[in-house]
Amino acid sequence: MLKAYYRLTKPGIIYGNILTAAAGFLLGSNGHIHIGRLLAALAGTALVIASACVINNYIDRDIDAKMARTKKRALVRGTITGTQALIYAAVLGVIGFTILHTYTNALTVGVGVVGFIDYVVLYTWSKRHTQLATLIGSISGATPITAGYTAATGAFDAGALLVFIVMVIWQMPHFYAISLFRKDDYAAAHIPVLPLAKGIRRTKIHILLYIAAFAAAVTALTVYNVTGYTFLAIMILLTGVWFWRGLQGLPSTDDKRWGRKMFLFSLIMLLALSLLLSVDTWLP
């Protein structure tokens, strides 16, 4: 039963977002790291995300039953009841926001509220109705790195805005790649992801355009003196590889296989971005 409650929080999402939250905090700290505040920011953010994911699972249990990858989730199978899930989500959310309020600052709490509402309300509703849900949901996915940054600085400055934009853009090719190799699942649940709504080729072109936009966004971090030139050189090199791999997919006929490869490479990009942001203070 404990394992079912653990999985209900979508731990993979939590781990990825905690990685970016830590990166945002370390970037904002500029070498002066307050360990207690860092741990509080990560713990509070993780619990808020967990709460939002549990509520999302509760709302989506009808469409989860139609998809092969989600039909065995606890709420679908009845291992956990809806009431139990909502109580669980409430406890997680209250503890998470309390930690953020007590040990970080009001701005970080506000960023968390924006991400929570966007994911639970706007994204959860829009993914059933429009392919723009990916863009709408990217807002919540970009709030952890922003919350980490504001927890360290107490300010929403150019750095906070730019890391937010970078994460919004990174998510677009990442999730479009997922929609390609999980297209059949989304079709079964009648979720209008871009490949189903506009076609596979349009999706591939969108992936390339967003990768190009990502290159511009990481460049802006250095142009506005948020990061250094080592960060920029490595990120532009990796983004170039990402774009080249995207170009290879245009003539591909095995779109699921290509989509999975692009998804995996986007994770490499996220890891590289997070690590470089974390140590940027000590890089040339």
Read off the CATH number of the domain in which 249 is found.
1.10.357.140
Q: For residue 218, what are the domain limits?
A: 2-282
The pLDDT, as a whole number, for residue 1 is 79
The pLDDT, as a whole number, for residue 2 is 85
Q: Which residues of the chain are under the pLDDT cut of 70?
A: none
pLDDT in tens, 31-41: 999 999 999 99
SS3 content of the chain, % helix, strand, coil (to 5): 80, 0, 20
Angle formed by the axes of helices 229-248 and 255-279, nearest 10°: 180
H/E stretch holding 59: helix 35-59
Residue 114 contacts residue 137 (beta carbons within 8 Å): no
The pLDDT, as a whole number, for residue 7 is 93
The number of distinct structural domains making up the chain is: 1
The pLDDT, as a whole number, for residue 70 is 83
Residue 177's nearest CA partner among 230, 252, 79 is 252
Within the chain, where are the H helices? 2-8, 11-29, 35-59, 61-64, 74-77, 82-103, 106-117, 124-126, 133-153, 158-181, 183-188, 194-197, 200-223, 229-248, 255-279
For residue 254, the SS3 value is coil
The pLDDT, as a whole number, for residue 80 is 93
Cα–Cα distances in Å, from 263 out to 17, 54, 176, 243, 256?
A: 16, 24, 8, 13, 10
Tell me phi and psi for residue 138, to 5 degrees: -65, -20
Tell me phi and psi for residue 149, to 5 degrees: -65, -45
pTM: 0.95
How far is it, in rounded angstroms, from Cα 225 to Cα 241? 25
The pLDDT, as a whole number, for residue 253 is 82
For residue 9, the SS3 value is coil
How far is it, in rounded angstroms, from Cα 215 to Cα 235? 8
pLDDT in tens, 198-209: 999 999 999 999
Cβ neighbours for 64, distance < 8 A, ≥ 6 positions apart: 57, 70, 71, 73, 75, 76, 189
The pLDDT, as a whole number, for residue 53 is 97
Placement of tokens 């355009």 in the chain: 209
Length of the chain: 284
Cβ neighbours for 5, distance < 8 A, ≥ 6 positions apart: 74, 80, 88
